[in-house]
């Protein structure tokens, strides 16, 4: 299908983009890669009065190594991050997760920040941000603030972004030297996951485990001791949800099976 009519605005600076958001608020949608937004517009699942195209803003197309964190601007594509030479060393969880994000052709245009802004409960990048304890940088005419991943993503496709705020970047903490692993089950490679798990080994051997597809947003818990027991207990507490692809029971079952594999793989990387 074709989208309903909308106005198109391409600002030349972030200041102009933020001024447009102050003017239009909820009537506007920010267009970066468009790999979810334009699909939803085409299907008429959503409509917008105005699209604000930030994809050409050079100041947002930057990947900055700040030492402790890697800051990724809102126009940086998923394939640009995947091709960054420091990725495997500094963000090994993202190196493992990015190949599961859509396909080569959609990663060429889809942005890292866009996926996090979209806030699908089973998608890979919001899960990685939550497990690593990263943050989202929001700017408006009122100023700039950074929200922790857990404060940013509220529920299914719902975030704490105010209508006048632009996501200008996300920050991932660098994790040097510890193991990380990512696993997911999807009907076909490149589809949204039914269940996705991410595991990161902490100093001292405990694991930070994150799961997508079991609640309205990624959930994170520290796992120590008997992995199977800890995962089994958590699986019962997570409510899961039913959609076309899976029942809550199937999701729980997938989670119980995937999580120990990811934890073992992360521990092996750390050793």
Considering only 65, 104, 224, 268, the residue that binds other proteins (CB under 8 A) is 104
Which stretch, 47-55, 139-147, 157-165, 226-234, contacts other proteins (CB under 8 A)? 47-55
Considering only 21, 54, 55, 81, the residue that binds other proteins (CB under 8 A) is 55
User: What are the structure tokens assigned to 244, written together?
Assistant: 């076309």
* 41-57 as b/e: b if 16+ CB within 10 A: beeeeeebebbbebbeb
User: Nearest-5° angle of CA 84, CA 88, CA 92?
Assistant: 120
Considering only 26, 42, 58, 162, the residue that binds other proteins (CB under 8 A) is 42
Q: Supply φ then ψ for residue 156, to 5 degrees.
A: -55, 120
211 touches other proteins (CB under 8 A): no
Considering only 72, 92, 98, 106, the residue that binds other proteins (CB under 8 A) is 106
Are the beta carbons of 197 and 255 closer than 8 angstroms? Answer: yes
The position carrying tokens 């899961």 is 240
Instruction: Closer to other proteins by CB, 3 or 232: give it.
Output: 3
> Which pairs from 202-211 meet CB under 8 Å and 24+ separation?
202/178, 203/178, 205/267, 207/263, 207/266, 207/267, 208/131, 209/131, 209/259, 209/262, 209/263, 210/127, 210/128, 210/130, 210/131, 211/127, 211/238, 211/255, 211/259
22 touches other proteins (CB under 8 A): no
Q: What is the largest CA-CA distance in the chain?
A: 56
59 touches other proteins (CB under 8 A): no
39 touches other proteins (CB under 8 A): yes
Instruction: Closer to other proteins by CB, 117 or 270: give it.
Output: 117
9 touches other proteins (CB under 8 A): yes
Considering only 14, 25, 27, 53, the residue that binds other proteins (CB under 8 A) is 53
8 touches other proteins (CB under 8 A): yes
232 touches other proteins (CB under 8 A): no
Considering only 14, 23, 108, 150, the residue that binds other proteins (CB under 8 A) is 108
109 touches other proteins (CB under 8 A): yes
203 touches other proteins (CB under 8 A): no
Are the beta carbons of 75 and 55 closer than 8 angstroms? Answer: yes
Shortest spacing between CB 28 and other proteins, in angstroms = 13
Which residues face 143 on adjacent strands?
A: 140
User: Nearest-5° angle of CA 58, CA 30, CA 38?
Assistant: 110
14 touches other proteins (CB under 8 A): no
User: Could you give the string, one character per residue 171-190, with x where binding to other proteins holds by CB under 8 A and - elsewhere?
Assistant: -----------------xxx
Task: Characterize the bridge pairing of strands 28-31 and 50-53.
Answer: parallel
Considering only 18, 24, 35, 220, the residue that binds other proteins (CB under 8 A) is 35
Query: Which positions touch other proteins (CB under 8 A)?
Result: 1-12, 16, 31, 34-35, 38-39, 41-43, 51, 53, 55, 99, 102-106, 108-109, 188-190
């Amino acid at each position: 299908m074709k989208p309903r009519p909308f106005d198109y605005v391409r600002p030349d600076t972030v200041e102009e983009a933020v001024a447009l958001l102050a003017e239009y608020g909820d009537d506007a949608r920010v267009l970066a890669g468009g790999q979810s937004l334009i699909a939803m517009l085409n299907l008429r699942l959503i409509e917008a009065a105005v699209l604000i195209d930030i994809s050409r803003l050079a100041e947002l197309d930057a990947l900055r190594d700040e030492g402790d964190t890697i800051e990724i601007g809102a126009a940086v594509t998923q394939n640009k991050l995947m091709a960054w030479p420091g990725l495997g060393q500094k963000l090994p969880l993202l190196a493992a997760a990015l190949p599961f994000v859509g396909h080569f052709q959609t990663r060429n245009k889809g942005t890292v920040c866009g996926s996090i802004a979209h806030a699908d409960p089973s998608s890979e990048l919001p899960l990685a941000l939550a497990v690593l304890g990263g943050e989202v940088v929001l700017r408006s005419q009122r100023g700039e603030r950074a929200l922790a991943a857990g404060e940013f993503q509220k529920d299914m496709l719902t975030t704490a972004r105010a209508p006048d705020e632009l996501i200008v970047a996300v920050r991932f903490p660098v994790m040097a030297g510890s193991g990380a692993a990512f696993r997911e089950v999807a009907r076909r490679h490149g589809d949204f996951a039914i269940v996705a798990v991410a595991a990161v080994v902490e100093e001292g051997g405990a694991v930070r485990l994150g799961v997508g597809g079991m609640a309205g947003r990624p959930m994170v818990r520290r796992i120590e001791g008997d992995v199977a027991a800890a995962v089994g207990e958590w699986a019962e507490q997570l409510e899961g949800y039913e959609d076309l692809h899976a029942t809550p029971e199937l999701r729980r079952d997938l989670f119980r099976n995937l999580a120990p594999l990811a934890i073992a793989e992360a521990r092996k990387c750390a050793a």
